[in-house]
A and B are shown apart, each in its own frame.
Chain A
């Protein structure tokens, strides 16, 4: 038994059918609003408020927008103001229980990174209010060609942060009780729910996308590749659209803008997701741009994921969800960039030895 199996086997678990999973959603809906993956168009998925449990998609590769949208909304009014009398009010951020159902492990890991970012230094009330009472039900998934979370140290079956976890098996799912909160949620769920004593064995999962090095070694690679030619190589293809930033589950940079209504009296100070890949991001008054080239901006994005915050938080801030690779309009893949940097680093080491 490996360490992960050992950990999973310590949790109380039940064997349930897919039908039972739908019933579980119905049961949870009585306790709090439930958000879960839904079909969105033909080949896309999106977390939405569950109206009917049968609408929920249990097996999906990834949603387009990450779960951060519930805690750091793409658009958020920070203040409503009145220009004429110079007054403002802060919209109340509800501190409510919300259940997030059918969430993948890399997504939960991304919230751990965002938790870090919004509690370090200044503890931001807006984020924490939304985050405080959130409950998470995880689910296992089949990695597609873009997932690489295993390469950054996050197993498909990682249960950290979840209250309940659904692990797919041949006939349906194992339902695992991870926390006390999770256990309580099951009160009144199903009659004759008997814990399953059988020892859990995990199928080895094949990730098609991989990083060549163990994740522990990645920050140190970044100590040596700042001046690598790899940045130029990808900058030549990149169009600077910022999709990778906006869909990244751990990116949290934002812009703040004032918007005024047509009466020229009322307005709001609103924050929007922003991205360091966008040209004007690092511009200062007077027009000087400290990351004027795409190569510099690409480098900055990668260093934010693998080096800068990592040095303080001791976590890689890339969770391997594969969104940046999957949705890049010109097909740039995160694992390709990192593997190229590793190759470049190895070559440099070889040259230095000679």
Chain B
């Protein structure tokens, strides 16, 4: 019989946080800097998410796009794609929002020490990976090569132009970008993100690959990585589901026997490889 006398948790009450900065990134994406009450640190891991809420508009899981190495304020990149996120786009500096979390399994950068890291970022998948990218750049000496591949549908959807400029200029970062459809001014690579993979020269045994992108992307990226003979054990991916409660109860994010909000969103690839509903 359960011991009901043990302490319990009030799971659904958010903390009221403040938006301290809003930056328009694209037509449909904005970056928000958030301050928790008392400027308390969120204490998140790269790859974790929070449940963001606006009273009257509900809650939605949003990945944290800033690194925990960068002080107590944190950042969320939000695409306007539903009730909550549309409303969030109307908020400005000083507005208040509800935050629960951080939730889920994030990346463990400590386990990647001494390794080369290849980031494969598709579309808004760059946001959760930026948290890990910034982390590795802030502890640059702990890691080997840092290789960032970024693909978007078209040049107008490119996120974080400032950061990208920095990555492009740094000698200790290898950065490549491609777009599915070029605009007239676009001078760079054209094609889906997998076109950037075959040309890479990698020390496959010593390379950790992290993959985040739209659902359709995973299958193809994983095929390309297989072509490069990257062992499955070196691959980590983050899966997007509708995590409604964030605490392993509501059932919405369940993939076969795993709850994304608890065991994910970041998964070691061998854990989800055989799960039909995962990828």
Interface residues, chain A, with chain B CB atoms under 8 Å away: 78-79, 81-83, 86-88, 90, 115-126, 128-129, 131-132, 161, 226, 252-258, 260, 267, 269, 271, 274, 276, 281-286, 288, 290-291, 296, 300, 303-304, 307-308, 311
Contact = CB atoms under 8 A, between A and B. Distances in A.
A351 to B, nearest CB: 22
10 contacts: A119-B2, A125-B11, A132-B5, A260-B56, A269-B12, A282-B242, A284-B240, A296-B277, A300-B254, A307-B257
Contact of A308 (B16, B55, B257): B257
Contacts, number: 137
Nearest to A291: B277
B10 interface: yes
Interface of B: 1-2, 4-14, 16, 53, 55-60, 79, 81-82, 85, 96, 214-215, 240-242, 244-245, 247-252, 254-257, 262, 276-277
A122 B101 CA distance: 13
Given A290-B241, A308-B256, 18 more contacts: A81-B56, A88-B13, A115-B2, A116-B2, A117-B249, A118-B249, A119-B2, A121-B248, A121-B262, A122-B247, A126-B12, A255-B250, A256-B250, A258-B56, A284-B242, A285-B60, A286-B214, A303-B257
A257 B7 CA distance: 27
A311 B257 contact: yes
Nearest to A114: B2
Q: Give the residue among B5, B60, B82, B245 with the most A Cβ atoms within 10 A.
A: B245
Contacts of A81: 55-56
Question: Per DSSP, are chain A's interface residues mostly helix, strand or loop, or mixed?
Answer: mixed
A271 to B, nearest CB: 8
From DSSP, what is the main secondary structure of chain B's interface residues? loop
Contacts of A126: 11-12
Most A Cβ at <10 Å: residue of B1, B214, B242:
B242
Contacts of A116: 2
Q: Which 3 A-B pairs have the closest CB atoms?
A: A253-B251, A125-B8, A81-B55
B62 to A, nearest CB: 10
A258 B10 CA distance: 18
A295 B196 CA distance: 37
A254 B250 contact: yes
A161 B1 contact: yes
B140 to A, nearest CB: 34
Contacts of B9: 122-125
Contacts of B254: 276, 282, 300, 304, 308
Contacts of B79: 285
A258 B56 CA distance: 5
A129 B256 contact: no
A124 B56 contact: no
A258 B254 CA distance: 22
A129 B4 CA distance: 8
A115 B81 CA distance: 36
Contacts of A125: 8-11
A267 B249 contact: no
Contacts of A123: 6-9
B251 A285 contact: no
A258 B8 contact: no
Contact of A254 (B242, B249, B276): B249
A131 B4 contact: yes
A274 B250 contact: yes
Contacts of A115: 1-2
A124 B242 contact: no
A86 B55 contact: yes
